[in-house]
Amino acid sequence: MLTFFISSLLVTVPLSISADEKLDYVALGDSLALGITPTSSTENPPKDGYADYLAHHLNNLKLLNNYTKQYAAAGYKSDDVYQDLVNDVKIPEEFDKVGIRATVAEAEVITISAGANDVLQVVTVNTDTGEVNFDQAQFLLALDQVKQNLTGTISEINTLNPEAQVYLMGYYNPFPYLPDKQKAQLDLALTYLNQTIKQVAVENGATYVSTSEAISKDAKKYLPNPENVHPNTTGYLVLANEFWEDMSLITAKDFTDVPESHFAKKDIEYLYGKNIIRGYGDGTFKPKQKITRAEVSMALYHSVVFDRSTPAEPGFSDLDKSMASYDAIAQLTDERVIDGFPDGTFRSNELLTRDQMAKIIVEAFDLKSTGEEITFSDMPAENHWSYSYIQTLAQNGVTLGYEDGTFKPKKFVTRGQIASFIARAMQLD
């Protein structure tokens, strides 16, 4: 028989750092912050949790200075996180010469997952019978304790480091194998828990990060063991990307050629805040400039949190490891997001067309077709390679084509347009 629940923190106010500065990242909380999976053991310690993936991604963006999850622990409740801060714990005591308070005081980004184990004590799930039981009064008391402890935790952080971004994570239903009736009971309890966490975040200047919807899209894939509430590494990648979508790390910049009225203004700011895209030395962004296949590869590589494995060599005859875009192209090719040409070339400097854009956006963000037929007067034939990609992109509202009812599949994509396409895809529910 198992009992469990989960929670965590997040923030979206941009940091006061430039794109050339680096940040310290601290992950606090329970077994999810630690990164425990169904296969974790003494011989296989957790190393691929959401915090690990986020740190790896920040490092790829050349934004990471230091990262630690040493203060996260399996079984931690919200009170454990709070008391660690109050008591300035050192973990491990024999080697930690600094302590949690000094570590937090130096951090620019702090993520927290805590609260699940508080509720775990009053919610009982029998995975053999499918029964779910909890006392309402005890449940409400547990929620109140979560609220008090998370509020106290953020207060301590704000006292030590008022400039830090704090990210509170909401929880997913860790029992997707239960019968629908019992799963609905847990979903209701989960809603109350997440509302509590979100309220704490809103009232204390932190950012709440929702994860339940993203995990529920394919919960059994991400939670493969009915007897274990922890996600696999693929599930942790989903959590990491939910955090990444809500992060804003770099001070906003006003480009001289992107006025407030520009259609891509907010999207450019969103991506710039993550160091996904940059401007030019003269203070411009050049939103009308056409984008190359190498440039869009780098933007997508920075937009999605990938795992830490080394991708296979892409094998394109015109691609060299010394190229700035090599890692991005290698990763996206390995993930089957982007392809080369039949002659074995990649053509890095070739301009990106809209039909190519449709394919790589759909693949990068794993967009699914809704089945609705979208009509464009110049739509490629149904048997054309780009047909399903254009349909899926339009069905998800990433682009609806032009006012004259066309899609213009062979038209080149501009920097402003790709900023909007990527930002919209990242923020889809």
pLDDT averaged over every residue in the chain: 93
At 232-268, the pLDDT tens digits run 999 999 999 999 999 999 988 999 999 999 999 999 9
What whole-number distance in Å separates Cα of residue 307 and Cα of residue 309?
A: 6
At 273-317, the pLDDT tens digits run 999 999 999 999 999 999 999 999 999 999 999 999 999 999 999
Residue 223 has pLDDT above 70, yes or no: yes
What whole-number distance in Å separates Cα of residue 30 and Cα of residue 232?
A: 16
At 287-296, the pLDDT tens digits run 999 999 999 9
Residue 14 has pLDDT above 50, yes or no: no
Within 13 Å and on the Cβ side, how many CA atoms surround 204?
29
Classify burial at 373, counting beta carbons within 10 Å of its beta carbon; exposed 0-12, middle 13-18, buried 19 or more. exposed
> What is the predicted pLDDT for the residue at 7?
33
What whole-number distance in Å separates Cα of residue 5 and Cα of residue 120?
A: 5
Q: How far is CA 367 from the centre of its chain?
A: 15
Domain parsing of the chain, residue ranges: 23-246, 265-426
The pair of structure tokens assigned to 149 is: 């402890």
pTM above threshold 0.85: yes
> What is the predicted pLDDT for the residue at 11?
33
> What is the predicted pLDDT for the residue at 8?
34
Cβ atoms of residues 380 and 411 within 8 Å: no
| Residue partners of 40: CB distance under 8 A and separation at least 6 | 46, 230
Domain 23-246: what homologous superfamily? Answer: SGNH hydrolase (3.40.50.1110)
Strand partners, 169: 209
